[in-house]
Every structure is written in structure tokens, then in C-alpha cells.
Amino acid sequence: MKDQANIEPQSKNLIPTVILDFDQSEVQDLVKLLRQSTHPDRAFLQKAHSYLSQSLLPVYSANEWQPVSKTLRDRQGSCSQRMACLEAVARAAGIPTRVHAFHVKGAFWYPRFRILRSLIPNRVLLVWPQFFLQGVWLDFDELYLPIAQLAAASTSGFTNDGESLFEAVQHTPVDFLGKTCGLECARPEHNLSKFILEDQEFFDSRDDAFKQFGSFQQTIRGRLFEVFFGGRKSF
């Protein structure tokens, strides 16, 4: 799917999906709670992200197809499941979303699984949210600040051995796309593009990306991962 940063969103970027089931009461009630006062869309998403960070326990899970409504009911979710929650809340509030999909080296997750690394495949599909704000698509990693400001303020990059990607975007450059390359304020460890194996471009929803490429949970390793780590606190 060819793309430009300012390409206009389509109806597919706003509808409910199997994963982004924002037509369910759990999501609708949350949006009503968060919309009690008027905020610009970006400030609303920051508020929603902060709420989800505080209210959903970060756990491990390979279940990429879990509906957002279930994640909210369970009050816990993986990094990917919580990203899906933010996307669903955005769509429910009228903010279009899509994802940038890329295959990442399994080694990116090794710091978290030092003993059972054999459960991690050599390549893992990562779907990175984008939100259409003020006429352009904004990457999840720049929800709070432009990547240059995050790099200038951060003393280290994202190491994936403590807090998750979902929380880290508030204060750390999580730079899979090589945006910090060439920035005077950046450190080599800010740039995570070294983990990217293949850029799969853009999809109207995470459902579409997983339909095309499959998901970790559908593999034998994924099922074993869920047995050993599913539901365990991730940091």
C-alpha cells in the first residue's frame, strides 16, 4: 500500500473491526469519561494514553486478535493489546487510525527473555499505530513530542528490559523508523531501525496487517509462549 504522510484517511480508518471493537460499551463508556472536558484531538489522545497506562496492567501475551473490549474488561494487556486500545478509543472519538507494519528481529525482545529465548522467533510482525491529526498522520512514537525533542532530552535509548514500548513513548525516543539518524542531539542507541528486517508499509487497521502476514499466536512457538508467559506482568 503506497503512502504519503498527508494522504487523506478513508472510511476504513474509522470503522470498528474485530480487534478495534469500539462499538462495545467498554470503549464507548471510556470515551465518554475521557471526553468530559473539551480537548484538542492530540491532547485527548495523550490523556487516553495516560489513562490506559495507569489503568491496564502490562502483561505478556501473544494474542494479537484479542478484542479491545476484553482487554478493558480484564484491566490488563500486552504492549500491542494496549496500543489497540488507544486506536479504538481514537476511532470512537472520530480520530482516524491506521498502522505501519514491519518485521522486527526477534533479538529485539531478547533482553526480556534471557532464559527462554528459543520461544522467540527470528522475525516478529510489529504494527505501529498512526493517528490522523491536523491533516497529517502522526506516529505513535511522537504522540507527546517530536522525536528530536525526545532524543535531546533522553540520556539513553529504549532498551526493552524495563518498561514497555507503550509507556516509553512518553519520554523516550522509540525510533524504529530511523528518524534520529543524523540528529546532533541523538545517540546511536536511540536508533532502533537496526532491528527492522522488512518494512511492510501501511494498513487501514491492525486486523488487515495480521490477516496478510499472520501473527505470533498462530504458531507453535506462540502457543508455547502463551503457556509460559501469558498473563505474567511484563515489568
Task: Look up the pTM and report it.
Answer: 0.94
CB-based contacts of 228, cutoff 8 Å, min separation 6: 116, 119
pLDDT number for residue 2 = 46
Provide the angle, in degrees to the nearest 10, between the axes of the packed helices 41-55 and 25-34.
120
pLDDT number for residue 6 = 65
At 94 the three-state DSSP class reads coil
Indicate the Cα dihedral angle 43, 166, 64, 108, nearest 10°: 140
Alpha-helical regions (H) of 16-159: 25-34, 41-55, 68-74, 79-92, 147-153
Q: Contact at 8 Å (CB) between 146 and 128?
A: no
pLDDT number for residue 18 = 98
How would you write the pLDDT of the chain (235 residues) with one tens digit per residue? 444 566 899 999 999 999 999 999 999 999 999 987 767 899 999 999 999 999 999 999 999 999 999 999 999 999 999 999 999 999 999 999 999 999 999 999 999 888 888 889 999 999 999 999 999 999 999 999 999 999 999 888 899 988 899 999 999 999 999 999 889 888 888 999 999 999 999 999 999 999 999 988 888 888 988 888 888 887 7
pLDDT number for residue 1 = 43
CATH code that applies to domain 11-229 = 3.10.620.30
